Amino acid sequence: MTKQQNDTATLLGRPLALPCGAQLKNRLIKAAMSDSLGDGEGNATDAQARLYERWAQGGAALSIIGEVQISPHFPEKPGNLVLGPDADMNALKSLTRRGAVNGAQIWPQLGHAGALSHQPISHPKGPSPLNVDGLTCEGMTRADIDALPAAYARAATMAKDAGFGGVQIHAGHGFLFSQFLSPLFNHRSDAYGGTVAGRFRVIGATIDAVRRAGGPAFPIGIRINATDKLVGGLTEEDALEVVHLLNKTSVDLIDISGGTYFPGAASSSDGAASGPYFLDFAKRAKAITSIPIMLTGGFKTRDQAASAIRNGGADAIGLARPMVLNPSLAITWLGDSGGDPVFPRFSETPPGGVTAWYSMRLTALGHDTEDTFDLSLADALAAYDSRDAERCIRWQKRFT
C-alpha cells in the first residue's frame, strides 16, 4: 500500500464526534434511501433487518433508513415504516439490533411527505395549496402546523424506545419541511412563511421538541437541500441562511443534498460536473457552522470521498447507490487497496426505471440474492409498481 492509500484509509477511518457526545466510528455513512421493504402496513420485515445488518457488517459507521413516517396519513410510499402507536415493536427492535452490529449506528429518517404524499393512500397537504401538472394538495391549517413538532417528538421517542441510536429529520428533496423552506411552494403570510426565518420556524420548533423527547445525548441529524434545482425554489443563498439558523439549534449532523421529486424537476446530477454534486456549497456551509457536515450525492470513488474531507468540504460522506452496489464498500474503502464500485450502464432509461432498479436490488440484498439479480429497467419498474399496488391495498385496509 502506498503512503497516499494509507493516508486516505486513515482519513476515512477516523471517528467523528457529534456535539451531543455520541461518536461515529468512521466517516462513511449509508445515506437515506426509501428502501421500500416495509410490510405494507408500516412495519419492519426480516428482509429489511437483513439489509441494514449487511451494511453494518460491511463497515458503515451509520445507516439511515429513508422515509420513516411520523404518521400513516402522509406517506411517501406504501413500503415505508410508520412510527405510530400500533407499530410492531418487536420487528423494530430486531431491525435496530441487527442494524447496529459491528459498532454501527442505525437511525430513522423522520418524515412527512406533504404535497408528495402517495395519492392512492393519502390526501396530500402542504404549507400552501398546489395545483400543478401531476401534483395537487391542500394547504395546511395553522393547527396542522402547530401539531407537527409534537408528532415528530412522539416518533423520536418511539425510535429511541425501539433501540435506534438517533434520528434524522427530513427537510430535503421536496418533502414537507423542504416545501416549507421553498418560496416556490410556501406562500404563507403568517409566521410560517415569508422570510427564510419564517419558513424555517416549524423546523426549529420540531428540532427543539425532538431534543426534549430524546434527551441531551440522543443524536439528531437533519437533511437539507443545497438547492431545489427549481426556478423560484430554494436558492443556495437561502440554504446558507438555513445553515446559519441550524447553527443556533441542538442539531448534531447536517446532511447536505439537493433537488426535489416534484414533477419535471431536474435531477441532482443534471448540470453537475463529475464528482460530488454539492461540494462547493458544503464548503461554504462549513465556514458558518460548528455542526458537522455530511455531504451526500455524486460520490463514486474513494479518492473523491477522501478529498472532500481533506479539503474542508465535509466531515462525513453519505453514500447511497454506491453502497447498494457494494454493501461492504466501507470495509473496502478502509482497506489497503480500496476499490471503487462499478456502476451499471443502461441503454434506455424510462422515467423512474433507474430508481426502481436500485430499489429492487435493495430487495435482493435483503434476501441475499444479489448474485442472481439481473432485471432490466423495464422489468424492475414493473416489479416495483406491482409491489406498490399490492401494498397500497394492505395500507388502506390497515390505516383507513
Q: What is the pLDDT of residues 362-390, one digit of tens each?
A: 999 999 999 999 999 999 999 999 999 99
Sign of the CA dihedral with 156 first, then 160, 164, and 167 last: positive
- Among 76, 84, 74, smallest CA distance to 32 is for 76
Q: What Rg value do the Cα atoms of the chain yield, rounded?
A: 20
Dist CA 46 CA 148 (whole Å): 30
pLDDT at site 264: 65
**Which residues face 108 on adjacent strands?**
65
**Which residues face 106 on adjacent strands?**
63
89: which 3 cell numbers? 415493536
**Which residues face 125 on adjacent strands?**
138
- Distance separating the N- and C-terminal Cα atoms of the chain: 59
pLDDT at site 309: 97
**Global pTM?**
0.96
Q: What's the Cα-to-Cα distance from 71 to each of 82, 297, 388, rounded to whole Å?
A: 6, 28, 18
Q: In what order do the strands lie in the sheet with 125-126?
A: 125-126, 135-139, 130-132
- Which of the residues in the chain have pLDDT under 50? 270-272
- Among 205, 162, 160, smallest CA distance to 22 is for 160
DSSP letter (8 states) at residue 267:
P
Residue whose C-alpha cell reads 456535539 in the numeric block: 19
The C-alpha angle with vertex 332 and arms to 48 and 364, in degrees rounded to 5, equals 30
In DSSP notation, 308-376 reads: HHHTTS-SEEEESHHHHH-TTHHHHHTSSS---------S---TTHHHHHHHHHHHHHHTT-GGG----
Query: Do residues 316 and 294 make contact, with C-beta atoms less than 8 angstroms apart?
Result: yes
Angle in degrees, 0-180, between the axes of helices 3-13 and 302-310, rounded to the nearest 10: 70
